[in-house]
Amino acid sequence: MMKNSKIYFLLILVIFGGLTLSLCYIQALEGTVNISAKVEGCGNGIIEGGEQCDADGSNGPCPATCSTSCTTNSCGGGGGGGGGTYIPPLVVTQVIFSGRAYPKSTVTLLKDAQISATTIAGSDANFSITLSGLSGGNYIFSVYSEDNKGIRSSLLTFPVSVTSGATTKVSGIFISPTIAVDKSEVKRGDNIAIFGQSAPQADIVISVSSEEEFFAKTISDKEGIYLHNFDTTVLDYGLHNTKSKASIGNLAVSSFSRVISFKVGTITVLKEKPEISKGDLNNDNKVNLVDFSIAAYWYKRPISAEFAIKEAERLNGDGKVDLVDFSIMAYYWTG
């Protein structure tokens, strides 16, 4: 009787074990829905074909045990007595970026126009990003940030020549403020609110331009938020552009923000929904390689009626895809 119960137990264990294993595997398969990519090759921490070792970011010359080409380093050693052995410092090719964004904002770093890192700025708006695993050569790095309302700054771009085995520091980055207005059309003589976010306690210069350029000044609060009610009495009827820039003391000055426009007319129309994102051809609120590829598909060929609607809405609306459309896309690029 005892023996039988043991066998029953074993039987149940095997059946349940088999089913659990199957279910776990099925669940694991069904759980894989997000698009993600695994990078293979030297420096990924996995020893693959043709590699003797791979210590992830610790690959390098002696004293590291694994070289940058994933071969085992012969670091000498052994041999006794006599003079000391020179151990060169660990050399890594990396770039360190530091600067100011907005308090607790997300800062995105692009390497050659593709997202390579993100970080969160501190409450003082300062951020720092270290990027390693680079080759020696010329790179185009860009940074942008997103404010507390989800509005993105313009891209701040800097070409950097990276030397293999050296650390390059890019400091003093000051991301331009974000900017928005509360009205798409404002009755002449009424105020229009121009607002956005920058570093805390920064001097903000707002430019409103048409034929003549007007400037206004304000200071951002401790959250980096600024607001200026601009009196439109001085403006003519028609379309006007506004942009802003920030400075702290005389040392740190940001570049100008994105340019946004509003109309001065006879009625006031509040801005309701967010504007259609220029350059975003697949409606994912990003402008990146996917959008570039969609536009490239139609480059210098007759566009379909379906795409013509999108081209009119999100590109320059001339019924064709050429360099001008790509330039618009490059301006609104998010990676």
Site for other proteins in 143-182 (CB under 8 A): 155-157, 159
Q: Whole-number minimum distance, CB 294 to other proteins, in Å?
A: 5
Which residue, 75 or 330, has its beta carbon nearer to other proteins?
A: 330
Task: Pick the binder of other proteins from 58, 126, 163, 282 (CB under 8 A).
Answer: 282
Task: Pick the binder of other proteins from 45, 58, 112, 285 (CB under 8 A).
Answer: 112
CA 44/CA 41 separation, integer angstroms: 6
Q: Which of residues 62-101 bind other proteins (CB under 8 A)?
A: 69
CA 140/CA 158 separation, integer angstroms: 6
Instruction: For residue 47, give both structure tokens.
Output: 């020893």
Which residue, 219 or 323, has its beta carbon nearer to other proteins?
A: 323
Task: Pick the binder of other proteins from 66, 110, 121, 204 (CB under 8 A).
Answer: 110
Ordered DSSP codes for 253-306: E------EEEEEESS-EE--SPPP-TT-SSSSS--SHHHHHHHHHTBTSPPPHH
Give Cβ neighbours of residue 14 (< 8 Å, ≥ 6 apart).
none
Sign of CA dihedral 321, 326, 331, 333: positive
Amino acid at 9: F
Q: Which of residues 250-279 bind other proteins (CB under 8 A)?
A: 258-259, 278
DSSP state of 62: T
Task: Pick the binder of other proteins from 290, 302, 312, 313 (CB under 8 A).
Answer: 290
46 binds other proteins (CB under 8 A): no
Q: Whole-number minimum distance, CB 46 to other proteins, in Å?
A: 11
Stretch that binds other proteins, among 53-61, 78-86, 172-180, 324-332 (CB under 8 A): 324-332
111 binds other proteins (CB under 8 A): yes
Give Cβ neighbours of residue 320 (< 8 Å, ≥ 6 apart).
300, 302, 303, 311
312 binds other proteins (CB under 8 A): no
Cis preceding-peptide flag for 63 (omega within 30 of 0): yes
Task: Pick the binder of other proteins from 46, 87, 140, 166 (CB under 8 A).
Answer: 140
CA 196/CA 180 separation, integer angstroms: 6
Instruction: For residue 5, give both structure tokens.
Output: 């119960």
Q: Which of residues 6-45 bind other proteins (CB under 8 A)?
A: 7-8, 10-11, 14-15, 17-19, 21-22, 25-26, 29-30, 32-33, 35-42
294 binds other proteins (CB under 8 A): yes
Q: Whole-number minimum distance, CB 230 to other proteins, in Å?
A: 21
- β-sheet bridge partners, residue 203: 219, 247
Stretch that binds other proteins, among 75-83, 122-130, 201-209, 319-327 (CB under 8 A): 319-327
Q: Whole-number minimum distance, CB 267 to other proteins, in Å?
A: 27
Per DSSP (E only), the strands in 153-285 are 156-162, 167-174, 180-181, 183-187, 191-197, 203-209, 213-219, 225-231, 238-248, 252-253, 260-265, 269-270
4 binds other proteins (CB under 8 A): yes
Q: Whole-number minimum distance, CB 310 to other proteins, in Å?
A: 7
Task: Pick the binder of other proteins from 52, 72, 285, 304 (CB under 8 A).
Answer: 304
